[in-house]
């Protein structure tokens, strides 16, 4: 049976909750097991995924990154977004692991909430579907 590690940034707890609802619905619907791992912010998501990949105790077939970065008054937003998104892409390629990217980058909390809500953009659900599809492709070529 397939198993996914869902790494969730709980910096914006309400948005993380919305992302997780959408993701869980898709994973449950497909009968995929998952564990949830909470990290303090979006910046910590890639490191947590790499820790799992490098662990000899890891039993995951895929990884799901869920979180949110909202633009503030400084350039911090740009640096965090670039590093988080870039790192997730590098992890997927360099470690050859299926990874779903559900990290929202938004100008406001209202826009982020709309993107996270399963009844609107459903970023969490779409990221879960993406990791499941990548797991299929991985199995097609590498198993």
Residues belonging to the active site: 76
By C-alpha distance, which of 83, 121, 127 is closest to 101? 127
In DSSP terms, 37 is beta-bridged to 7
Please say whether the beta carbons of 126 and 65 come within 8 A: no
Q: Is 10 helix (H, G, I), strand (E, B) or coil?
A: coil
């Amino acid at each position: 049976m397939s198993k996914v590690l869902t790494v969730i940034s709980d910096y914006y707890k309400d948005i993380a909750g919305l992302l997780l609802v959408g993701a869980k619905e898709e994973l449950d619907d497909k009968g995929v097991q998952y564990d949830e791992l909470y990290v303090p912010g979006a910046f910590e998501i890639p490191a947590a995924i790499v820790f799992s990949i490098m662990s000899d105790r890891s039993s995951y077939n895929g990884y799901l990154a869920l979180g949110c970065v909202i633009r503030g008054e400084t350039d911090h937003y740009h640096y965090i977004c670039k590093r988080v998104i870039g790192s997730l892409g590098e992890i997927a390629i360099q470690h050859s692991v299926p990874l779903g990217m559900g990290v929202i980058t938004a100008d406001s909390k209202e826009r982020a909430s709309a993107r996270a809500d399963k009844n609107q953009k459903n970023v969490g659900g779409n990221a879960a579907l993406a990791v499941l599809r990548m797991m299929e492709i991985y199995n097609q070529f590498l198993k």
